[in-house]
Structure 1
């Protein structure tokens, strides 16, 4: 599932660079889901196992995210280790935004889901109004990259709210939740490839859905609940397993460069 530009780009603020994000391949989706899983279990590990609490966990991950984003913005091209490190931490931070609203402020999940949907739609609308493209093949200016990471942050917040809303209202258990969200992604994929659903819309719909899918996988592996199921590996063991898999794949992509945007595609979407 890929995202393509439907309009010529207009001049954009910021220096021009090589594409700063990976191509959307099978590797992308596998690592993205695992990053989401690590984000879920790592947040639980810091919050519960280490006793940081929700507020301190938010501060720690927020500081980590700021440092990593500075490093990411300083680069002139896509660097797998830095990029995916940002995705892991932003998945934690986006999740914590929703958790703080739900647990600390008692904001209903339905309200959070609606508000984050509106915010995300606004981000996309402004991004398109300014750049005339939402193509991820041409994240080659500072401004485009800022829109990209802002959108990703709210996809995680929205995915958390919508996923928790479904889980709490339906009370289905982890395995069933995995099947539901995996099925939803399959439907989006079918709609894109068979029914010609817009590539940009399909990409971001799938991106949002991978968050609750990854969280459900993390819960299934780490938890051991009589009511909801789970393998009982614990948050530490689950985090280490997926982190090792992520590092292995990132090392592979760093060497092979299989997920880098072809120069001709970047040129096609480059700002004037």
Structure 2
């Protein structure tokens, strides 16, 4: 489905005439310094592969950052360099090449995710603030782009400035989508599976709006932004553990591999079929005559959708829920106020010393920024605690339940999709205090 009125790739704003057709494979500059349009036609394939790319952006960034232990800052530096390289390749290409274009989108997706995570996890910037900042940044990009070029259509990316504006806008939409998606989870406490439904519903509303005559360019960019939280939530749903976390438990590595293979297969198909290449024949087939009056009227429709979405979030925020998705488990009130002495005295001192040593080691690794080592060490804590359950629980069910709740809190903080250092330190410090 196309969200835009197609324009001639060599003359933005002009309607294609019957018989106008570019030579497939042509890679030279058009007259007056114009380029062939180097973005794909907006078809159903565009949206399928865009969602695949955004899911990879979420799961692949988490895998490299946490599972491989590279660290957030180092991962961001690596992908910033990769982005510079693939973007230079895309800019140097003389025509739309599916592999180069979508490789750039994948890298932009990962990089935009990492920039938001740095603000949230390393700098402690609230998600509400980062969402507002990225929204303002996107408005500035669009404002300057339109003031200079008088169009925001992706069917008119036929000059170098427009191409640069396009990729800058794409980068900011990924960062904005990451921030707003995570903020939604923070506000609602929804599980990964439930969180997929909101952006999916909003995208369906945009499709309906476009069918009813909403502005093509506005509809395109709204859908483009919304596919980011959809893909991110989908990645979390597939990769997160099952049970209380609401995921399928595939893990970030397997999720990344599945979607990278799907992207590669789609790119190969598009390369062979060339079904998403903008040329004169496709322009004539998909062109629509805009209705300015109807487009203005449909702005009210989008306003209603926005208010409905915001109202849903406000309602969900006021419902009882955990501070983060999947963290609803809490110790029973009867065990929530016992002292460290009461929590540890029923158990052998050697066992308590073992748990305390592992917890202290985990805290040291978190404080040093070695998230991978912290995740591995906290698994030792989980294993040791589970192995001793049959021996410890009969000695005092109350004390065992209390410490079990404290350890669960530590596990969830350290293994969170986007670990927050302050939350990790707080949970580990609390457990150390409880262990005496």
Normalised by the shorter chain, which TM-score bucket? Answer: over 0.9
Question: Within the alignment, does 1:236 sit opposite 2:253 as a pair?
Answer: yes
Shift of residue 8, structure 1, vs aligned partner: 4.0
User: 1:109–1:165: 8 Å Cα contact kept in structure 2?
Assistant: yes
User: 1:8–1:132: 8 Å Cα contact kept in structure 2?
Assistant: no
1:24-55 residue CA offsets vs partner (Å, 9 max, x unmatched):
10000000000001111110111011111000
User: 1:5–1:133: 8 Å Cα contact kept in structure 2?
Assistant: no
Match of 1:254 among 271, 275, 280: 271
**1:202-217 equivalence runs, <5 A:** 202-217=219-234
Shift of residue 57, structure 1, vs aligned partner: 0.4
Quote the residue 1:245 is aligned against: 262
Question: Within the alignment, does 1:85 sit opposite 2:103 as a pair?
Answer: yes
Shift of residue 227, structure 1, vs aligned partner: 2.5
Match of 2:202 among 176, 184, 196: 184
User: 1:185–1:206: 8 Å Cα contact kept in structure 2?
Assistant: yes
Match of 1:144 among 162, 177, 182: 162
Shift of residue 225, structure 1, vs aligned partner: 4.3
**1:82-231 equivalence runs, <5 A:** 82-194=100-212, 196-231=213-248
User: 2:131–2:176: 8 Å Cα contact kept in structure 1?
Assistant: yes
Cα distance in 2 for residues equivalent to 1:254 and 1:61: 25
Cα distance in 1 for residues equivalent to 2:13 and 2:156: 11
Quote the residue 1:15 is aligned against: 33
Match of 1:46 among 64, 72, 83: 64
Cα distance in 2 for residues equivalent to 1:51 and 1:71: 29
Shift of residue 182, structure 1, vs aligned partner: 0.6
1:156-176 residue CA offsets vs partner (Å, 9 max, x unmatched):
011011100001110111111
Question: Within the alignment, does 1:2 sit opposite 2:3 as a pair?
Answer: yes
Quote the residue 1:72 is aligned against: 90
User: 1:5–1:134: 8 Å Cα contact kept in structure 2?
Assistant: no
Cα distance in 1 for residues equivalent to 2:214 and 2:139: 18
- More relative contact order in 1 or in 2 (CA 8 Å, sep 6+)? 1
1:67-126 residue CA offsets vs partner (Å, 9 max, x unmatched):
000000001110000000000010011111111111111111111111111110111111
Unaligned stretches of 5+ in structure 2? Answer: 15-31, 288-436
Cα distance in 1 for residues equivalent to 2:105 and 2:263: 11
1:169-207 residue CA offsets vs partner (Å, 9 max, x unmatched):
10111111111111110011111112x221111111111
TM-score (norm 1): 0.92
Secondary structure in structure 2 of the residue aligned to 1:230: coil
Cα distance in 1 for residues equivalent to 2:130 and 2:138: 12
Cα distance in 2 for residues equivalent to 1:61 and 1:204: 24
Cα distance in 2 for residues equivalent to 1:15 and 1:211: 33
Unaligned stretches of 5+ in structure 1? Answer: none
Shift of residue 62, structure 1, vs aligned partner: 0.5
Question: Within the alignment, does 1:37 sit opposite 2:55 as a pair?
Answer: yes
Shift of residue 15, structure 1, vs aligned partner: 3.5
Distance 1:231 1:225, change over 3 A: closer
Shift of residue 263, structure 1, vs aligned partner: 2.9
Cα distance in 1 for residues equivalent to 2:280 and 2:77: 39
Cα distance in 1 for residues equivalent to 2:164 and 2:57: 21
How many residues align? The count is 262
Secondary structure in structure 2 of the residue aligned to 1:227: helix
User: 1:40–1:218: 8 Å Cα contact kept in structure 2?
Assistant: yes
Cα distance in 2 for residues equivalent to 1:30 and 1:158: 20
Cα distance in 2 for residues equivalent to 1:201 and 1:113: 19
